[in-house]
Structure 1
């Protein structure tokens, strides 16, 4: 390449290298159902990554070789037996918009170009799918964590006024409410917005892990009596531990009667609305003031891509809009356009995430994506049946959507936590499957989350067999947890 430029000196050779990389990526995705689920990064590659910054480049071929060497060592979520965390499996079609987006290299902060119009279309589609008004505010963001910050900042602005952008929250004593099973990103948002995580009250849950609405109303009344200012109720559509869905219609009614902003954390569960059979479980979500959810989970878009919807577009605009002189709006030219994403969120520089979401919806359609979600929920119920039939396995929560928590019960009760933790690790290290663990009523559980469109029913039968086999092996070995 010429000095001072970064384009290839030989475009033909670069094109050939790019085709080799594309073939390697397609080979990886075509073989996603084969081999190990998770493979640790080998020490030689770790050592190579510890090398000093290169002062002289390797060129396209040398860089591509390094990239291909890393391809086998991901999290494992493309494999059909990855069930550890709520990660989508991706799809081969996502490669194409990622290539196109890289070639366009657009900043989606604003200006009048194709990417902004694509994002606006995707936000409008999302509003339609989620039952929000067509003129709702919204953005395509990195994920639900960022979406939650945006939504809650709009809620804070409505409660305290836009002057808080200059003056801060001062002595205001705002309080918000969520279920004990709500995701930690809500508390993190309270922290980052200057409200303090202790201002988020966690209401207890019922036997199905749904927010106790009577406890919620009592907490609101108590805070008002003590001089606090309740401003927010957060409902969860798919709790990360159990998949439970809070009584969203009841929460919407309480928020309306109390004059509170109603936000729904629907990171993965909100997308169940795309299934006609599952949509009734989310009744009331369409009444929310804001909604956060991800495309990179159950909708199978590659990382990262999420969405925030805000019913009152002006409230979102009031929370963020403030153009410096160099971004002043215009009526003509590239600086024109009546939708600049920078006015609706904290990022000035933003990637072209909307393009892969747009392409994904065009390729598959909402109905096919809903069918994947519906099938995963059926598979979770199947797994629950297999667990219930096994004499040495015990379910620890009901199946609300796509998550089952259970455990191996062989041996003494005192050893159950340690045995189940070891089962999870041995499954991961064997490469056969990836589960995670959590605690349900204080007991350590094996947690299976099915958000993978490649999972087959036979994989679940194999899982139950292997959990029981490893558990029996541990008992025969006289396994006990190592001292802390």
Structure 2
């Protein structure tokens, strides 16, 4: 092994270790510690609030002088690791968040070691990203040459897809150059009322305006009413407006509902508008042969937004947007700049770089951890894990339906179970149960709102969650319901109790007397 040369007197300092062997030992200890942390997840709480000591620690001024890596790792163990989000834990069911994997952690470490900027240039990181695009194009039934790019998450992916759709609808007017003032009429988009709020936000950020996002009513399964959509489009055309985008949902954020994607594709073709699918987590159900039929019509979309960091458990963050027409994708973002000049050979070679397909020039190597997940686990196992979470959701749905104390609030399509307390018209008991479970560290469901009333939402995403965990969760619900009733009854009794009258302020004087 090559020994680190002694530090030269007066040499300029840099950020590499002065003692590589000592650094190696510390790095190995850190890796062992986080592996132990993941391995022992079940032994700890799902979540605990940050201590006052930890909060105070992160209000300190930035240090002028550095410290040993050993001490920084000790501070991480004391002030960070115990108070993380909790989404790795098998009893975390609060939001649709991936649990990560030890394999993904190693991949993230390797990507950090390479420190590749994947915005462009001629290096292997771009080939890895292109392979992911081809793999997903095949999984979703898209053409082999479909264009794709990694982004932070589905919110950004939906935004980029909307920009592609806007450019496609207005390419003769060159809105990229002339701005929205060049439009001859108002562009209008359509989605279900259950669509993720990021789609509405995309309309705001694109300059088209949220008021021009038509939210179409949903049916009893929380899927968009296609007939209502057709009427809305006809009304807007009659008013002189220009429909340009239909957004279908493959797994809505609240309930996991899936729109009739085939019918939406038919209507989009008839109306000559862009058909985009927000498949943030649900699109990856295509990896399961059993679940794939639920997504019929996805293969006809013009673009799809989805996340690898949800159901594939790639470490955060790893969102993706896939566009059927590579030229439409390129036209929406490509810009010429001297510092992006291409060359026939060398590091500047390459016709299309990722920076031509989105707004980011500086981009991390998100593709590597995604490639590790697919390459290491294989599509079949990933599909099995997705399918199992849906099976567990159906098990929980059956237990709720069999309970006298709880009742379902929405149908279960994929892996999200929404329910409430049977006699809880204002949702107070549901809210108490969720907060108490969080504080106990035993489980972490979340709250959502149906018709103005809070409901409990269990999103079963974690590949570590088992049938025994669902049984335990049901037991915890029953226990917390009993305690929540006691707390609310005590609070109600206290509120109804007569309050003592205020004593007079002086002889013969009442609180309202005046001089």
Which of the five TM-score ranges fits, normalised by the shorter chain? over 0.9
What aligned pairs does 1:319-330 form with structure 2 within 5 A after superposition? 319-330=332-343
Structure 1 position 480, deviation (Å) = 5.0
Residue 38 of structure 2 corresponds to residue 29 of structure 1: yes
Alpha-carbon distance in structure 2 between the residues aligned to 1:113 and 1:466: 52
**Partner residue, 1:52:** 61
Answering whether residue 70 of structure 2 is matched by residue 61 of structure 1, we say: yes
Q: Does 1:377 align with 2:402?
A: no
Displacement over 3 Å in runs of 4+: 1-4, 479-483
Number of residue pairs the alignment of both structures matches: 480
**What CA deviation, in whole Å up to 9, does each residue of 1:56-112 have, x standing for no partner?**
111322222222221121110000000000001111101221111111111000000
Q: How does 1:172-321 map to 2 (within 5 A)?
A: 172-321=185-334
Give the Å deviation of 1:479. 5.0
> Could you say what secondary structure the match of 2:45 adopts?
coil
1:166 counterpart residue number: 177
What CA distance in whole angstroms lies between the structure 2 residues aligned with 1:15 and 1:127? 41
Supply the distance in 2 between the matched residues of 1:23 and 1:77 (Cα, whole angstroms): 21
Preserved CA contact (<8 Å) 1:34 1:79? no
Normalising by structure 1, we get a TM-score of 0.97
**Contact kept in structure 1, 2:190 and 2:229, CA below 8 Å:** yes
Corresponding residue number in structure 1 for 2:377: 364
Offset at residue 140 of structure 1 (A) = 1.3
Q: What does residue 117 of structure 1 align with?
A: 127
In 1, distance between residues paired with 2:484 and 2:392?
28
Report if aligned partners of 1:418, 1:480 keep a CA contact under 8 Å in 2: no
* CA offsets 1:274-310 (integer angstroms, 9 cap, x no match): 0000000000011000000000001111100011000
How much has 1:32 moved relative to structure 2? 1.9
8 Å contact from structure 1 (residues 123, 140) kept in 2: no
Deviations 1:347-393 (A, max 9, x none): 01000000000011110001100000100000000001111111111
Q: Does the CA contact (< 8 Å) of 1:408 and 1:468 recur in 2?
A: no
Whether the aligned pair in 2 keeps the contact of 1:21 and 1:68 (CA below 8 Å) is: no
**Quick check: 2:421–2:427 contact (8 Å CA) kept in 1?**
no
Q: Deviations over 1:165-199 (max 9, x none)?
A: 11111144000000000001101111111101111
Q: What are structure 2's unaligned runs of at least 5 residues?
A: 1-6, 496-515
Shift of 1:338: 2.5
Task: Within 5 Å, give how 1:418-433 maps onto structure 2.
Answer: 418-433=428-443
**Root-mean-square deviation (CA), in Å?**
1.4
Q: Distance in 1 between matches of 2:139 and 2:110?
A: 26
Alignment of 1:433-448 (within 5 A): 433-448=443-458
Q: Distance in 2 between matches of 1:97 and 1:323?
A: 33
Q: Which runs of 5+ in 1 are unaligned?
A: none
Q: TM-score, normalised by structure 2?
A: 0.91
Please give the alpha-carbon distance, in whole angstroms, between the structure 2 residues aligned to 1:396 and 1:47: 41
